[in-house]
Amino acid sequence: MNPRRLNKIQSSFVLLVPFFVLVVLFTYCYWDNDLPYFQRDPFVKVKKYAPLIHMELAKYHLEKYTPILIALMQQESHGKGGDPMQSSESIGLPPNSIKDPNESIQIGVKHFRKILTYGQEKQVDFETIIQAYNMGIGYINYVAEHGGKHREELAKDFSLLQVQKHPKIYACKKRLFKSRYPYCYGDYSYSEKVTKNINSLTASNK
């Protein structure tokens, strides 16, 4: 074979490889349940837990918060795994210790009820209560002492305080992309993300 032609074929092959890699990644990331991305409901996995979430909330007469818990689960796990509500840490266990989704939801609902009740007593806004699902009940106290309304700056300050108290436990590395360093305790933007989920969920149900 002509060397020039061989080089041309090799060059074309090299150019095609990234294209095929992109096709594979697109298929992997955006194809679910045999439906293309533009037809897929991003909440399809969490919605299957809606009846159980509603039932657990109804035990405490809080069933009106079902969409909120669905939005929380979406942020926590997208409905995947044995602990879709990421409830393990709320009872002092390591992450993903719970392996039963039913147990995860039961404990997650109890945790939500606890922070909701306490947040109402402390007269903080609902964004603070949502953020406290991620950062714990101590965040409610912190916000109550600083005006009663959640702000990302307060969440960052609270995160740094927890890191300073337990630097070995709450440690994270500084990275070029998607780094939360030095705010290694919790997710300071959690409330904003859940609120976006709530709005998206409301829009998808219309």
Please tell me the predicted confidence (pLDDT) of residue 50: 97
**What is the 3-class SS of 75-121, one letter each residue?**
HHCCCCCCCCCCCHHHHCCCCCCCCCHHHHHHHHHHHHHHHHHHHHH
- Distance between CA 64 and CA 67 in Å, rounded? 8
> φ, ψ for residue 6 (rounded to 5)?
-65, -45
Omega into 182 within 30° of 0, i.e. cis? yes
Do residues 154 and 162 lie in contact, with contact meaning Cβ atoms separated by under 8 Å?
Answer: no
Helices 101-122 and 66-76: crossing angle, nearest 10°? 120
Is 0.75 topped by the overall pTM? yes
Could you give the 3-state DSSP secondary structure of residue 2? coil
Tell me the pLDDT of the chain (206 aa) as tens digits: 555 555 555 555 555 556 655 655 555 454 444 444 444 789 999 999 999 999 999 999 999 999 999 999 999 999 999 999 999 999 999 999 999 999 999 999 999 999 999 999 999 999 999 999 999 999 999 999 999 999 999 999 999 999 999 999 999 988 766 678 999 999 999 999 999 999 999 887 76
